[in-house]
Amino acid sequence: METLIFDLDAKPLREVNQFLHGDASGLNGKAFVIENPNGAHSIAVGLKSDIHVTVKGHAGYYAAGMNQIAKVTIEGSAGSGVAENMMSGMVHVKGFASNAAGATANGGLLVIDGDAGLRTAIALKGADVVVGGSVGSFSAFMAQAGNFVILGDAGEGLGDSIYEAKIFVRGKVKSLGADCEEKTMNPEDRKILADLLAKSGHAGVNPDSFKQYGSARTLYHFHVDNAGAY
Amino acid sequence: MSEQQPKIPQTKPRFSATFDESTMSEIRRAAATGIYDIRGAGAKRKVPHFDDLLFLGASVSRYPLEGYREKCATDVVLGARFAKKPIHLKTPVTIAGMSFGSLSANAKEALGRGASAAGTSTTTGDGGMTQEERGHSSILVYQYLPSRYGMNPDDLRKADAIEVVIGQGAKPGGGGMLLGQKITKRVAKMRCLPEGIDQRSSCRHPDWTGPDDLEIKIAEIREITDWEKPIYVKIGATRPYFDVALAVKAGADVVVLDGMQGGTAATQEVFIEHVGIPILAAIRPAVQALQDLGMHRKVQLIVSGGIRNGADVAKALALGADAVAIGTAALIALGDNDPHLEEEYQKLGTTAGAYDDWHEGRDPAGITTQDPELMKRLDPVKAGHRLANYLAVMTMEAQVIARACGKSHLHNLEPEDLVALTLEASAMAKVPLAGTNWIPGVTGF
């Protein structure tokens, strides 16, 4: 596979991103390496072609934001909002991720090998998010759809005001948010979990070691009796 | 025979100004239901407004322009600060953000048709972009909201400008809501929600907090759209000086400032009436912030909240705005609250002119509804034509006033063309009380 290298010490990020936004017919199937990212914000955002971008180091905010189709690998840690509003494709963070990782992501797969910060998978809208470590508080807040796998622990208020997203946690949950409850894992959900573990490099992990959480659906309609829940 | 007693005069029953009819009916409703009142539209209470200002017009000391011969331009360019492709409007009257979901598809189409005919922009809302409005809007502003419902990078690229919504005048600091009656299959799919639930929209963006993060977020959107699109930041009017300054610092091309009279699809009545400030009070501090930063006319200011006619447009521009946005007025032009539907409004327990239960989805005019039968009542072509007419009238009215003040462009109107009728308006708009040189808080009496 042809690989093109961009050195952010030598080339402005704006030019790199604009190149990666080029006509898909000329980009599809190609691989790119971004060197010296040095925590720059908005690296490889808005991609929409079948390409593989490898970031050799740490990325700042919104790395791979709004990704479509592309695969982005960050060989370091990522700042806030990595893969925010991703539509499809895959984003793999080999280090840690800061707050709001995978926020509002609609599709695709976000894999974080390390820990992730506050509000991971907030308002998730259909994507799959797998965190190898632990996640901070208020993760999966108002998560609407998609699957969220946590191999470590979860902080406070997990799944607060959750809609139809599914959460799988292997470690401890400090507390559940309003309207989030433990569910019984059915065979279909177990298969979803097993597939995601396999896709994210955790094939040897037993799905039965996870607990599943989701919406109790008691807050789906405004009602005076629910006032205390907010 | 008994002596007839003299009739004792009776005090006429006296209603309380504090506990008026509306207040008492709300207390009874609250006592019966145990939950707050939700409604659409903006603040209904009387607040200092553009009606409290007057133009001075030309006389011996000023030279007017001939109304039927001399040009008075109305165009405005928005977003030239950073965007490669700023937008150019023929009139400074734009259509404010209103969502598909709160409005019917036909209403969105009508807004697009009317705005396009008038050479101005329309704006999406919570829930994303529909084909109807993109297809019928020659200039479409795409709102980027805290909920990110329907947020799609393909639509971001299709937009002509992007409006990062921090808040709105009807509910600064509050999120949105769309009740289950309006979460139809199509709306639910666009928002990725279960059908029929009461939908909540976040009051904060999910992936940034504070002005420093906003700067990074705006830069991300610019990167994704290759720096082509103007980026607006919309705020509800509360602390306009600081909020505008921070929006400019964060990199906004355009700031949209919405006063408390600005409408909403559904919010608590107490929120609408008691949070935020009137647009009249917000414009001068906002303009001051732009001037202090050397950004007045470089970062454009769009103001909204109770704009009704060309006089309001001219006054807003004279106070320093570059353009205005209309929402409620545009819906009225489409056919909202029309007296010919009085019988149906009566059935809903209200009357034409006061109907504001837009969240219930039973709008007899077919505008604030997702009911397929009610929607059919709104002909998007005819309604769009009415809106285009109305926009043309507003523009011409503003020109009439500007010419009378001797201005060859609406943007040449200035605060010196205005006086105030009340002390409150004088203090808020920082123009003299009529017949005096006094501006409370600025000049001595």
Cα–Cα nearest to A114, from A201, A205, A198: A201
* Bridge partners of residue B67, in order along the sequence: none
pLDDT number for residue A228: 64
pLDDT number for residue A230: 57
Burial class (CB in 10 A: 0-12, 13-18, 19+), B70: exposed
Residue B402 C-alpha, separation from nearest chain A C-alpha, in angstroms: 43
- At the top level of CATH, which class does the domain B50-429 belong to? alpha beta
Cα–Cα nearest to B256, from B332, B174, B169: B169
Residue B419: both structure tokens together? 């006086």
C-alpha R_g of chain A: 18
DSSP structure class, residue B57: -
CB atoms B223 and A81 under 8 Å: no
Contact at 8 Å (CB) between B223 and A17?
A: yes
Chain B CB contacts of A122 under 8 Å are 206-207
Those residues of chain A that have pLDDT short of 50 are none
CA–CA gap between residue B200 and residue B405 (Å, rounded): 47
**Across chain B, how many H-helices and E-strands are there?**
15, 16
Angle at B175 between CA B279 and CA A223, to 5 degrees: 125
- Residue A62: closest C-alpha in chain B: B220
pLDDT number for residue B375: 95
pLDDT number for residue A227: 64
Cα–Cα nearest to B38, from B346, B351, B359, B364: B359
The CATH number of whichever domain residue A122 belongs to comes to: 2.160.20.60
CB atoms B223 and A13 under 8 Å: yes
Alpha-carbon distances, residue B48 vs B17, B313, B357 (angstroms): 19, 16, 25
Cβ neighbours of residue B88 closer than 8 Å, sequence gap 6 or more: B75, B76, B77, B78
For residue B220, give the nearest of A41, A122, A221 by CB distance: A41
Q: B152 touching A, CB under 8 A?
A: yes
Alpha-carbon distances, residue A97 vs A13, A68, A111, B434 (angstroms): 21, 20, 10, 61
Cβ neighbours of residue B382 closer than 8 Å, sequence gap 6 or more: none
pLDDT number for residue A226: 67
CB atoms B153 and A14 under 8 Å: no
Q: What number of CA atoms fall less than 13 Å from residue B312's CA on the CB side? A: 22
Q: What share of chain A is helix, strand, coil (3-state, %, to 5)?
A: 15, 25, 60
Burial class (CB in 10 A: 0-12, 13-18, 19+), A32: buried
Q: What is the pLDDT along chain B (445 residues), one digit of tens a residue?
A: 557 888 999 999 999 999 999 999 999 999 999 888 999 999 999 999 999 999 999 999 889 999 878 999 999 999 999 999 999 999 999 999 999 889 999 999 999 999 999 999 999 998 889 888 899 999 999 999 999 999 999 999 999 999 999 999 999 999 877 777 778 888 888 888 888 888 778 899 999 999 999 999 999 999 999 999 999 999 999 999 999 999 999 999 999 999 999 999 999 999 999 999 999 999 999 999 999 999 999 999 999 999 999 999 999 999 999 999 999 999 999 999 999 999 999 999 999 999 999 999 999 999 999 999 999 999 999 999 999 999 999 999 999 999 999 999 999 999 999 999 999 999 999 999 999 999 999 987 6
CB atoms B220 and A103 under 8 Å: no
CB atoms B206 and A144 under 8 Å: no
What is the tally of structural domains in chain A?
1
3-class SS of residue B200: strand
- Residue A40: closest C-alpha in chain B: B216
Cβ neighbours of residue B210 closer than 8 Å, sequence gap 6 or more: none
Contact at 8 Å (CB) between B191 and B121?
A: no
Q: B32 touching A, CB under 8 A?
A: no
Q: Which amino acid is at B198?
A: D
* Bridge partners of residue B156, in order along the sequence: none
Chain B CB contacts of A138 under 8 Å are none
Span between the terminal Cα atoms of chain A, in Å? 53
Q: B34 touching A, CB under 8 A?
A: yes
pLDDT number for residue B69: 82
pLDDT number for residue A1: 62
| Residue A194 region by backbone torsions, left for phi larger than 0, else alpha for psi between -120 and 50, else beta | alpha
For residue A221, give the nearest of B198, B217, B225 by CB distance: B198
- What is the helix (H) or strand (E) element at residue B403, kind and residue range? helix B380-404
CA–CA gap between residue A199 and residue A204 (Å, rounded): 11
Q: Which residues form the domain of A200?
A: 3-229
DSSP structure class, residue B39: E
3-class SS of residue B13: coil
Question: Hey, which residues 186-205 in chain B have their CB within 8 Å of chain A?
Answer: 191-194, 197-198, 200, 202
pLDDT number for residue B68: 79
pLDDT number for residue B177: 74
Burial class (CB in 10 A: 0-12, 13-18, 19+), A2: exposed
CB atoms B34 and A103 under 8 Å: no
Chain B CB contacts of A119 under 8 Å are 206-207
Chain A CB contacts of B206 under 8 Å are 84, 100, 103-104, 119, 122-123, 141
The residues of A whose Cβ lies within 8 A of any Cβ of B are 13-14, 17-18, 21, 41-42, 45-46, 48, 60-62, 65-66, 68, 80-81, 84-85, 87, 99-100, 103-104, 106, 119, 122-123, 125-126, 141-142, 144-145, 161, 163-164, 220-224, 227
CA–CA gap between residue A66 and residue A48 (Å, rounded): 9
Q: B438 touching A, CB under 8 A?
A: no
For residue A41, give the nearest of B34, B207, B216 by CB distance: B216
pLDDT number for residue B29: 95
Chain B CB contacts of A116 under 8 Å are none
- Count the neighbouring beta carbons within 10 Å of the beta carbon of residue B209: 15
Cα–Cα nearest to B74, from B295, B375, B399, B435: B399
3-class SS of residue A208: helix
- Residue A100: closest C-alpha in chain B: B207
Chain A CB contacts of B152 under 8 Å are 87, 106
- What is the helix (H) or strand (E) element at residue A128, kind and residue range? strand A125-131
DSSP structure class, residue B76: E
**What residue ranges do the domains of chain B occupy?**
50-429
CA–CA gap between residue B319 and residue B326 (Å, rounded): 17
pLDDT number for residue B1: 52
